[in-house]
Chain A
Amino acid sequence: MIGSPRHEGMMQRLLVGRMFQGRLLPESMRTADGGRVERRTDIRFSFDGADYLGCGGDTLASALLANGVHLVGRSMKYHRPRGIVAAGAEEPNALVAVVRGGGRTTPNLRATQVELFEGLEAHSQNRWPSLNTDLGALVALAAPLLPAGFYYKTMMGPRGLGLWHRVFEPLVRRAAGLGRAPRVADPDRYARYYAHCDVLVAGAGPAGIAAALAAGRGGARTILCDEQAEPGGALLSEIAALIDGIPAREWLAQSLAELAAMPHVRVMPRTTAFGCYPHNMVGLAERVTDHLAAPSPDQPRERLWRVRARRIVLATGAIERPLVFPGNDRPGVMLAGAAREYLLRWGVKVGSRVVIATACDTAYRAALDLATAGVAVKLVVDLRAAADGPLPQAARAAGIAVLAGGRVLGTHLRGKRLDSVLLGRGDDGRRRWFDCDALLMCNGWTPAVHLHAQARGALRWEGERGVFLPGEPAPGVESIGACNGATDLAMALAQGAASGGGAVPVVEGEVPALPGPAHVDAAVAGDAFVDFQNDVRADDVRQAVAEGFHAIEHVKRYTAGGLGTDQGKTGNMNLLALAAAARGTPIPELGTTTFRPPYTPVSFGTLAGPARGEMFDPVRTTPLHAQAVAEGAVFEDVGQWKRARYFPQAGEDMHAAVRREVATTRAAAGLFDASTLGKIEVVGPDAAIFLDRLYLNAIATLKPGRCRYGVMLSEAGFVMDDGVMARLAPDRFHVTTTTSGAAHVLAHMEDYRQTEWPELRVWLTSTTEHWAVLAVQGPRARDVLAPLVAGDISAAALPHMAVRDLKVAGIPARMMRVSFSGEQGFEVNAPARHAPALWDALRPRIAAAGGTVYGTEAMHVLRAEKGYIIVGQETDGTVTPGDLGMAIGRGKGDFIGRRSLARPDMLAADRRQLVGLLSDDPALVLEEGAQIVAQSAPPPGTKALGHVTSSYFSPALGRSIALALLAGGRERTGERLFVPLARGSIGVAVAAPVFLDPQGGRLHV
């Protein structure tokens, strides 16, 4: 070993970022001029509690580097110190949490994408107790014991499960992983919009700008989005080239001004095109306020845009690849292109003495620009045997030493930062430590084909450069610029202009970079990382292949390479190359990995948008909601509806209120809001035939002015819905459905009407919300109503199951003599706007009759005492009408579901049938859903005979009752069975499902 690590510059680094004599030290690595930052104002920010200064236009990463800070995090598995690698969205290491107080903590943000603002507070992640002293780093000592597949091999298996859940998993979870989610609700607002355009251009680099200009000049509705704060991409760090005779940055400014002046063009900075979806839909995440020190409360934090574009133009650029060598993950080792960008965009030198290792010409641009800025470029180590292109020649001419055929053999960390690098030459065994504070690397560029692939475009392998390029695209999608293989500015601009049929800008003064293949040392071992974020080393990839994981998708899953939040943007091609080398096959034979949205993480808040809290789902209230509130109702959610569940009086709990409501209704009268019932008006000469084909019951024979209960079956023969068919006229029916079934039943009816029987002359109109329904039930129901009704509602004039249009309290109403309580019952349908007036008219009469208002809970008890089913409670999609003891209407022909009722399984004797259950203890109310067995102490594995579907305390019987579905139940009446619960078995007797007034006399009075 020649030479040794040296320690100069240590004092300076120790002082950086610390308070010194009461004031902040200025940045140490900022250039005197150049770049696009605003130097006049200092922006104060903190990282891990230490205060620093930065400039306007900085990212957190550029500001930290300006302060000489490279160490920003610990790696997930081995807790190795890690630094900033990249300058953009591909950053694998520099994940930070930004804290804004009051629940505004966002973990796992890439420091390269966090814009600096006054007072920014950021923290490193995955370290304890601190970034500098991280006890988790001891894990690294056990690295040989934590190979790929460690978790699968060690933690799995039935015997280990208990230990895994209790001991290992919590430990692993604490030691590994990234940021922590905040524990309080996110107070920010998020918005969501649809947008439409002729051309969506994703990426505002040279190609994207040229494409947007061409589209906009042609009059197309155009959206140009870019994930960065400032549009321009590579143009922002282009200082040499001229475009159409003016400096590139000048051309950029002019182009953006022209785009801004076009009313049909929208330029969206801070907006990531994160996903491409079928039929040209693109998801955009726009960051609205994250860069502001004091955002307006009116503005959403982020907006999600779902853009439908006739044409999608992808100008997403390319991502620089790291080299895989031992110690390539030390803070201070970073991508060469990123170092150049930090210099030219942000005026930040990433080091004072740098060594550059490359397998690609573009790194020489970094060498030249850094040297010009006064950085000591000590050596360019070119891994290729020869480095003779125009750029290497330019570097040599500028006095930069170039070592072709070199190798990087190791790096050395001193404190928080790289301090030397071990270089070798060819295979001659000579090696030497070079002192440096930054090692810049480049292994070629990977076109960012993510969106192209998400849109289901094909990929093609370009072996000479070792890249996948867009192949056959999805219709309406095209790729331009670096993501389409363009290697220089002229080519990018030309592709962009061509996409919109525009004039091609002329480029001068650009030294071309010759394309060449990526370099992968198949034998590289030790701490040579392929995936920085998930701590995957070259050794792990070889081991996965050796263990038989050959397809790249399997290698990824086994090693976790590419599965981090960065999705392996920098590492995947190296992973692929190493796996291919280990297998001895060409890269294309391993296949590519699947590109899935999102391109970069999108917060849940953004995806949820406004759909949270009250706006998560519509809250539907009935026209009588205010009346129920005034009565002191307690509401329950029934789907989206708020329904009055019970009306407690002073001192009453729910049970007491429900008992009173039930008993009062049975004794006198009850008023119930049934407005949520689905209602469909079925009109046309064939209405009766149509309904006859859709219901179990005989509808065709129903006379005008009469109602009939109807059960709707699915074609498979199972009960789907039920309701009342009221025949208003020979060609007009008012059909009710269950509350939750309204939309589904209408769709089911429309399906048969439109597609099976288009010859039937019948139409369906939903009247659910037009009619409010006030149910008046109980022996005194008629007494309550009669004085208000203009007409005769006596039992003779309006018998049970009759319907008639009448005026009630001066309001035109559709009155039905129907009952869901077993008592004399009226359901008054009134247009919704009149419902409150009708309620107000009925309410005092109910009170005068000694009656009550009642809610859904009492409604349930009333119907259960009568054995009336509720679809969805007594039925679950596997219950036939026969199971419920219901017969097919007399004289009926075919109807939907009939044939299925004759299938063998539908006729089996041991089908579960509706029965009543009476528990031995009359005070005990069974649990709904409880299982029923024959033995009081059933051995494990005993098959249940049935289950409880409804269970209440019945005021009428003065005891508990239950409905149940029981195998061969009707034959078991009188049998004693058991409901086994954890606290012991409950004895029950099987009874008929109708507990009250089985002859139905109370209905007809």
Chain B
Amino acid sequence: MLLIPCPFCAMDRPEAEFRHAGEAHLTRPPDPAAADDAAWADFLYHRANPRGVIAERWRHVHGCGRFINVLRDTVSDRILASYRPGEKRP
């Protein structure tokens, strides 16, 4: 079970308190109607899913309730950083 540093609770918290929420830093186009079908499909469905470091979202649902961003190595499961939504990826 992962131990995820929560930037809002300011402590490491167990994975059981979180829900995974997919890849981070996907920006919803400001004017979806202007996006062509390919771009929209890309936004909806295509994910990087890297082998290595991924920026992903978790929601601390059984904690502070916040969505957070986490940098995790998908090979080693090591967590390199966690930060608040809207903050720049370290």
| B78/A758 in contact, CB under 8 A | no
Q: Does A278 contact B (CB under 8 A)?
A: yes
Interface 0/1 of B34-66, CB less than 8 Å to A: 010100110011000000000001010100011
Complex Cα distance A754/B85, Å?
A: 8
Q: Which one of B21, B37, B77 contacts A278 once the chains associate, using CB atoms below 8 Å?
A: B77
Cβ contacts under 8 Å, A278 to chain B: 1-2, 77
Known contacts: A306-B1, A308-B3. The answer to whether A754 contacts B40 by CB under 8 A is no
| B59/A894 in contact, CB under 8 A | no
Q: Which one of A474, A755, A894 contacts B32 once the chains associate, using CB atoms below 8 Å?
A: A894
Q: Which one of B28, B45, B67 contacts A754 once the chains associate, using CB atoms below 8 Å?
A: B67
Q: Does A312 contact B (CB under 8 A)?
A: no
| A900/B44 in contact, CB under 8 A | yes
| A475/B67 in contact, CB under 8 A | no
Q: Which one of A277, A475, A898 contacts B78 once the chains associate, using CB atoms below 8 Å?
A: A475
* 10 cross-chain CB contacts under 8 A: A278-B1, A279-B2, A279-B3, A281-B1, A475-B78, A747-B61, A750-B59, A894-B32, A898-B32, A903-B40
Q: Does A904 contact B (CB under 8 A)?
A: yes
Smallest beta-carbon distance A747→chain B, Å: 7
Q: Does B86 contact A (CB under 8 A)?
A: yes
Smallest beta-carbon distance A216→chain B, Å: 24
Complex Cα distance A900/B33, Å?
A: 9
| B67/A899 in contact, CB under 8 A | no
Complex Cα distance A804/B31, Å?
A: 37
Complex Cα distance A902/B33, Å?
A: 9
Known contacts: A308-B3, A456-B76. The answer to whether A904 contacts B37 by CB under 8 A is yes
Complex Cα distance A783/B37, Å?
A: 55
Complex Cα distance A903/B66, Å?
A: 32
B-facing residues in A888-931 (Cβ within 8 Å): 894, 898-900, 902-904
Complex Cα distance A281/B15, Å?
A: 11
User: What are the nearest 9 A-B pairs in CB distance?
Assistant: A899-B32, A278-B77, A279-B3, A755-B85, A754-B67, A281-B1, A755-B67, A279-B2, A716-B44
Smallest beta-carbon distance A471→chain B, Å: 14
Complex Cα distance A903/B37, Å?
A: 6
Cβ contacts under 8 Å, B35 to chain A: 899
Complex Cα distance A755/B87, Å?
A: 11
Q: Does B19 contact A (CB under 8 A)?
A: yes
Complex Cα distance A956/B59, Å?
A: 47
Known contacts: A894-B33, A903-B37. The answer to whether A756 contacts B59 by CB under 8 A is no
| B40/A899 in contact, CB under 8 A | yes
Smallest beta-carbon distance B5→chain A, Å: 11
Cβ contacts under 8 Å, A488 to chain B: none
B-facing residues in A742-769 (Cβ within 8 Å): 747, 750-751, 754-756, 758
Cβ contacts under 8 Å, A279 to chain B: 1-3, 77, 79
Residue ID in chain A nearest B43 by CB atoms = A715
| B67/A750 in contact, CB under 8 A | yes
Given contacts A278-B77, A747-B61, 9 further A-B contacts (CB under 8 A): A279-B3, A308-B3, A475-B78, A747-B19, A747-B59, A754-B66, A755-B85, A899-B40, A903-B37
Cβ contacts under 8 Å, B31 to chain A: 894
Smallest beta-carbon distance B73→chain A, Å: 10
Residue ID in chain A nearest B1 by CB atoms = A281
Cβ contacts under 8 Å, A715 to chain B: 28, 44
Complex Cα distance A308/B12, Å?
A: 12
Residues of A within 8 A of B (CB): 277-281, 306, 308, 456, 474-475, 715-716, 747, 750-751, 754-756, 758, 894, 898-900, 902-904
Cβ contacts under 8 Å, B3 to chain A: 279-281, 308
Cβ contacts under 8 Å, B28 to chain A: 715, 756
Complex Cα distance A716/B77, Å?
A: 30
| B1/A277 in contact, CB under 8 A | yes
Residue ID in chain B nearest A899 by CB atoms = B32
Smallest beta-carbon distance A983→chain B, Å: 42
Residue ID in chain A nearest B33 by CB atoms = A899
Q: Which one of B19, B40, B77, B78 contacts A900 once the chains associate, using CB atoms below 8 Å?
A: B40
Complex Cα distance A128/B5, Å?
A: 57
Cβ contacts under 8 Å, B37 to chain A: 903-904
Residue ID in chain A nearest B44 by CB atoms = A716
Residue ID in chain B nearest A755 by CB atoms = B85
Q: Which one of B1, B32, B76, B85 contacts A758 once the chains associate, using CB atoms below 8 Å?
A: B85
Cβ contacts under 8 Å, A750 to chain B: 59, 65, 67
Smallest beta-carbon distance B63→chain A, Å: 13
Smallest beta-carbon distance A550→chain B, Å: 24
Smallest beta-carbon distance A445→chain B, Å: 29
Residue ID in chain A nearest B72 by CB atoms = A278
| A751/B44 in contact, CB under 8 A | no
Cβ contacts under 8 Å, A894 to chain B: 31-33
Complex Cα distance A714/B54, Å?
A: 24
Interface 0/1 of B14-33, CB less than 8 Å to A: 10000101000000100111
Complex Cα distance A278/B1, Å?
A: 6
Residue ID in chain B nearest A717 by CB atoms = B44
Smallest beta-carbon distance B37→chain A, Å: 6
Smallest beta-carbon distance B83→chain A, Å: 13
Complex Cα distance A902/B36, Å?
A: 10
Cβ contacts under 8 Å, B76 to chain A: 456, 474
Complex Cα distance A509/B66, Å?
A: 62
| B40/A751 in contact, CB under 8 A | no
Complex Cα distance A507/B86, Å?
A: 60
Residue ID in chain A nearest B41 by CB atoms = A903
Complex Cα distance A386/B19, Å?
A: 62
Q: Which of A278, A751, A898 has the most CB of B within 10 A?
A: A278
Interface 0/1 of B74-90, CB less than 8 Å to A: 00111100000110000
Complex Cα distance A763/B2, Å?
A: 29
Complex Cα distance A716/B46, Å?
A: 12
Complex Cα distance A898/B40, Å?
A: 11
Complex Cα distance A306/B67, Å?
A: 26
Cβ contacts under 8 Å, B41 to chain A: 903
Smallest beta-carbon distance B7→chain A, Å: 13
Cβ contacts under 8 Å, B14 to chain A: 308
Complex Cα distance A900/B40, Å?
A: 8
Cβ contacts under 8 Å, A474 to chain B: 76
Complex Cα distance A756/B40, Å?
A: 17
Smallest beta-carbon distance B59→chain A, Å: 7
Q: Which of B35, B44, B79 has the most CB of A within 10 A?
A: B44
Residue ID in chain A nearest B32 by CB atoms = A899
Residue ID in chain A nearest B14 by CB atoms = A308
Residue ID in chain B nearest A308 by CB atoms = B3
| B86/A758 in contact, CB under 8 A | yes
Cβ contacts under 8 Å, B61 to chain A: 747
Cβ contacts under 8 Å, B78 to chain A: 475
Complex Cα distance A280/B14, Å?
A: 11
Complex Cα distance A306/B57, Å?
A: 25
Cβ contacts under 8 Å, A306 to chain B: 1
Cβ contacts under 8 Å, B44 to chain A: 715-716, 900
Complex Cα distance A475/B19, Å?
A: 25
Complex Cα distance A661/B19, Å?
A: 41
Complex Cα distance A715/B45, Å?
A: 10
Smallest beta-carbon distance A245→chain B, Å: 43
Smallest beta-carbon distance A907→chain B, Å: 11
Residue ID in chain A nearest B57 by CB atoms = A755
Smallest beta-carbon distance B87→chain A, Å: 11
Complex Cα distance A750/B31, Å?
A: 21
Complex Cα distance A475/B76, Å?
A: 10
Smallest beta-carbon distance A942→chain B, Å: 31
Complex Cα distance A773/B85, Å?
A: 37
Complex Cα distance A736/B40, Å?
A: 30
Smallest beta-carbon distance A528→chain B, Å: 39
Residue ID in chain A nearest B35 by CB atoms = A899
Complex Cα distance A169/B28, Å?
A: 55
Residue ID in chain B nearest A279 by CB atoms = B3
Complex Cα distance A755/B68, Å?
A: 9
Complex Cα distance A902/B78, Å?
A: 41
Complex Cα distance A627/B66, Å?
A: 38
Complex Cα distance A902/B41, Å?
A: 11
Complex Cα distance A539/B10, Å?
A: 59
